[in-house]
Each structure stands twice: as C-alpha cells, then as structure tokens.
Amino acid sequence: MTLIDPASQNVEKAVSIAQKADKAGTDFFMIGGSTKVYPALIDKTIEEIKKVTDKKIIIFPGSSESISKKADAIYYMMLMNSQSNEFLIGHQVRSSIILKKLGIETISMGYLIFDPGMTVGRVGNAMLIKRDDEMTALSYALAAEMFGFKLLYLESGSGSPTHVSENVISRIKREVKIPLIVGGGIRDYESAHDVLSAGADIIVTGTVIEKSVDVYQTLKEIINAF
C-alpha cells in the first residue's frame, strides 16, 4: 500500500506520486498522517487521485477530523499502546455518528507503535514497544484479535530508520490470525523482503516515495519483493 500524507506535498505532487505508484503496481492507497489535515484538503487530494487511478483509497486518520466521503473506506483504528484516552477511544466515539451517516466502510484495526515511533509516537502519546520485544507485541496482538479487529498494523513511525524486527513479525504471524500490516522504515527491496519473509501480509511505504526522484522505479523494486 502506498501512503500519501496530504500535509507533505501539494495536491499536484500527491497526484503525480499516485499515478506512478499505480503504474508500479501498488494495491491500495492510504491517505492520512499524524499532523493536522483539514477535511477540505483530504477531499481534494482524494478527488484528484481518483482521476488517475482505480485503486481503492483508504483514509488513515490522524484524528476524528480526518474524514472524507470521497474515500472508499476508513480505518477505524485503536492506537492500542497509547496512554491517551483520545487515541484509545475518544476520536473514534466523536466520529461514529458522522461515519454512519456518510455510510463509509469502516475497517477496524489495532494499531501498535514500536520504537522509535517518530511523529506518530509523540502525537499519539504511545508507550513505545521495543522493536524486538516479542512478548509485549504478542500480548497486544492477541488482545487485538480478541477485540475482533480485522487488521493489525505494526508501525515504527513514518521516516523511521528501521522497521519492526523480524522476530516480532514472525512470532505474531505464528500465533495471531489477523492480517498483518507492517510500516515505517521500509525503503528498499531488502527491507521489504525481510519484512515479508518474516510474515507481513501487507507493507506500507510513504517516505521513500515522497523523497524519491524516480517513484516508479523505487516502488517497482519494493513491490518485486512480493
């Protein structure tokens, strides 16, 4: 999946990235980020991206304001290791009525933030899990399964120098049935290959394509790891 944060570039650049990512073979687009993004900008970004791709667009919300009826779906997520009531249940409760009214598909997701956490770790007031701490990660992952979440996202934070370690991914994969998304710090074929071999079902890349001078080629190499 390709993550596009509307706060990181203008709409034109977001569309150009999306077009190349689509051609390189990304499966879905995630739109969002942890810094404040106004609904009008999310609307506009989605509207323009939809003109260049048929791939589904899922909102990756930073708050209860990150909603757009133009998206195909939205993650209805719990930042499970947050120490803030807001990220555990506050934003979710504030957005439930409007989501119901809009009729947008909600995909329940447990969201776990690992070291170093980067901006989302700080903003989300996360009690960071060490990137190789199998038992803590497994405890959260099993809790996510018991809550009935449809997806589990193992996040190191956008722009992280490293991804969640392979032992954590493979341990969770062995013991938990929920599809696993891994993101943060994946920027080349090797890191994608390591994460996928460990058991990730889906990988997310954001920073590497924002910074790349050749989005198509960079993403093509990462996708070749599948």
Q: How far is the CB of 101 from ligand 1GP (least distance, A)?
A: 27
Q: Which stretch binds ligand 1GP (CB under 6 A): 131-139, 141-149, 164-172, 180-188?
A: 180-188
The neighbouring-strand residues paired with 180 are 152
Half-sphere exposure of 210 (CA within 13 A, CB side): 17
Q: How far is the CB of 203 from ligand 1GP (least distance, A)?
A: 9
The Cα–Cα gap between 88 and 77 comes to: 8
The Cα–Cα gap between 218 and 28 comes to: 17
139 a known binding residue? no
Q: How far is the CB of 215 from ligand 1GP (least distance, A)?
A: 13
Q: Of 86, 78, 79, 14, whose CA–CA distance to 46 is shortest? A: 14
Q: How far is the CB of 187 from ligand 1GP (least distance, A)?
A: 7
Burial label, 101 (beta-carbon count in 10 A; 0-12, 13-18, 19+): exposed
Q: Which stretch binds ligand 1GP (CB under 6 A): 41-49, 85-93, 141-149, 157-165?
A: 157-165
Q: How far is the CB of 131 from ligand 1GP (least distance, A)?
A: 13
Which one, 56 or 102, has the nearer CB to ligand 1GP?
A: 56
Dihedral (Cα; 90, 168, 131, 77), 10-degree rounding: -20
Q: Does 61 bind ligand 1GP (CB under 6 A)?
A: no
Which one, 22 or 155, has the nearer CB to ligand 1GP?
A: 155
Total of residues contacting ligand 1GP (CB under 6 A): 14
Q: Does 155 bind ligand 1GP (CB under 6 A)?
A: yes
The neighbouring-strand residues paired with 58 are 30, 73
H-state helical runs in 71-226? 85, 91-102, 118-123, 134-147, 166-175, 189-198, 207-211, 215-223
Q: Does 90 bind ligand 1GP (CB under 6 A)?
A: no
CB 7 within 8 A of CB 34: no
Q: Does 160 bind ligand 1GP (CB under 6 A)?
A: yes
Q: Which stretch binds ligand 1GP (CB under 6 A): 40-48, 129-137, 188-196, 201-209?
A: 201-209
Given the rule CB under 6 A, which residues bind ligand 1GP? 3, 155, 158-160, 183-186, 204-208
